[in-house]
Amino acid sequence: MADYRAPLRDMRFLLNEVFEAPKLWQSLPALAEVVDAETAEAILEEAGKITAGTIAPLNRSGDEEGCHWDDGQVRTPAGYREAYRLYAEGGWVGVGGDPAYGGMGMPKVISAQVEEMMNSASLAFGLYPMLTSGACLSIHAHASEELKQKYLPNLYSGVWAGSMCLTEPHAGTDLGMIRTRAEPQADGSYKVSGTKIFITGGEHDLTENIIHLVLAKLPDAPAGSRGISLFLVPKVLVADDGSLGERNALSCGSIEHKMGIQASATCVMNFDGATGWMVGEPNKGLAAMFTMMNYERLGVGIQGLSTGERSYQSAIEYARERIQSRAPTGPVAQDKAADPIIVHPDVRRMLLTMKALNEGGRAFSSYVALQLDIAKFSDDAQARQRADAQVALLTPVAKAFLTDMGLETTIHGQQVFGGHGFIREWGQEQLVRDCRITQIYEGTNGIQALDLLGRKVVGSGGELYRPFADEVRAFIAAAGPELAEFSVPLEAALQNLDELTGWVLDRAQRSPNEIGAASVEYLHVFGYTAYAFMWAMMGKAALGREDDAFYRSKLGTARFYFARLLPRIHSLSASVRAGSEALYLLDAADF
């Protein structure tokens, strides 16, 4: 596998030339004194060094060795503890954290780029700081000041780690069915009892403490999801002076043996009257957890992008070096027995598909991250409200479409290698295995599609959809004739999405099955259209600069996207319009 190289040039292009993020930062008082273009570049450069130089070399060895469980203790693969210590000492765990508690205070659009580099280097390794960051988000937004002061500094510094304990053996998507209980105590604490499964980083040897955020129900809780509360439950109890005390009444019962992410400890966690403290209000646990869901679901989308990027870097190197057969137009490498496989049309199709989906995905994830920053930091209430609505609409697209395209990309990368792609030592098959989980956890992609179409589009009567469509329309209206090769097909794609949205809104009133039947294909139509918007913006920034190889490559990839990938929306739209009837022609026994 090729050595990983952080795509810093493309990241700078997006931040500075496409989205003009430094101008946004200067317009937001909360960020103006914290970050500028030079600070952002320095942070990304350093992140690129540690991820490429320290983390990436552990990716294959970590996959080969995996985690080890022994009597409740989990040992991570060789090199992980040392690498995690270096990563934490650099402040990277708290890159987006509140400076008042020791975080770096960077906007999400920067931490998203850091996340991409980390996950490209090693998706399994990146899950440990990702879960810690997610725990910090909920604690910061909902916990008491006492809990924030007590836990956030050591979480941001990476001295402690975090986990999220949601799923139970019988309750995955339907969290209202959870059975974990929390009994109130006289001192204001709670005794938490129950079993949680699929807990990423529930137990490991990277940090001296792990802070679990656990969903549980109070004795008098209402039924269903309205009766869920959130509790902070440390692995090791923390004294008032911050020192560590006794081990809490919780344990890791086992770790899962998985298809991928072998170096990430996926744990069964048993809470046996463990001491915890409520985060937020009683019976409002899901709201507290959803505070970080928009961030974490974007983060999972970025994981799909990350594996696709790593696969592309290896595939392009291999395609330039591997010689097989001659080009259709005749020999290219006259001094060799055959030509490099990059001359072959089908190999080029796969490589360009990978490149277009990766770069489009990087632009889209950055765009969503900017909306999160506006929603969090803007002083303008109207701007915050609009950005919040955009985040609500686009988060399921970011999670599902980025990961669906990530799997497609890693499979293309494996295919470029031919038979060698099926062999473990080349690394491509690991990326396929690792990427696969991103479509499943943090809400399966089918659930994300239902969220987009059912809750966000149909549930709002189309109101959440319109501002995004209006922004794309405004871009098209402002585009000059020089941008017509991008703006004209973008306008046609947007019109198709408008009409498809109207069709689903109408049909959903007649049949409850229509939303579920249309949701996945609708999300993909939305995703390809959103990427077209990204590519039109990137094309605009690159036009007229073709003498530079970077911009020439960008424009060529944009043209490929509009010619060969955007047309996928037509078959997807036809599937949506086919309706739900064909899904119900068979009884359950007839399958």
- Please answer whether residues 15 and 107 qualify as being in contact, where contact means their C-beta atoms are separated by less than 8 angstroms: no
**What are the distances in angstroms from CA 582 to CA 25, 30, 574, 585?**
50, 53, 13, 6
SS (H, E, C) 57-83: HHHHHHHHHCCEEECCEEECCCCHHHH
Q: How far apart are CA 394 and CA 397, in angstroms?
A: 5
Residue 60: closest CA among 319, 310, 325, 326: 310
Q: Strand, coil or helix: what is 183?
A: strand
What phi, psi does 180 have (nearest 5°)? -60, 135
- Please answer whether residues 405 and 302 qualify as being in contact, where contact means their C-beta atoms are separated by less than 8 angstroms: no
Residues making up the chain, counted from first to last: 591
Q: How far apart are CA 455 and CA 493, in angstroms?
A: 23
Q: How far apart are CA 503 and CA 222, in angstroms?
A: 38
Active site residue 321: no
Which listed residue (442, 491, 514, 521) is catalytic? 442
Exposed, middle or buried by CB within 10 Å (0-12, 13-18, 19+), for 207? buried
What phi, psi does 329 have (nearest 5°)? -90, 5
- The pair of three-digit structure tokens given for residue 252, joined into one six-digit string: 């890791």
Q: Rounded to 5, what percent of the chain is helix, strand, coil?
A: 60, 10, 25
- Please answer whether residues 485 and 562 qualify as being in contact, where contact means their C-beta atoms are separated by less than 8 angstroms: yes
Catalytic amino acids? Answer: 442
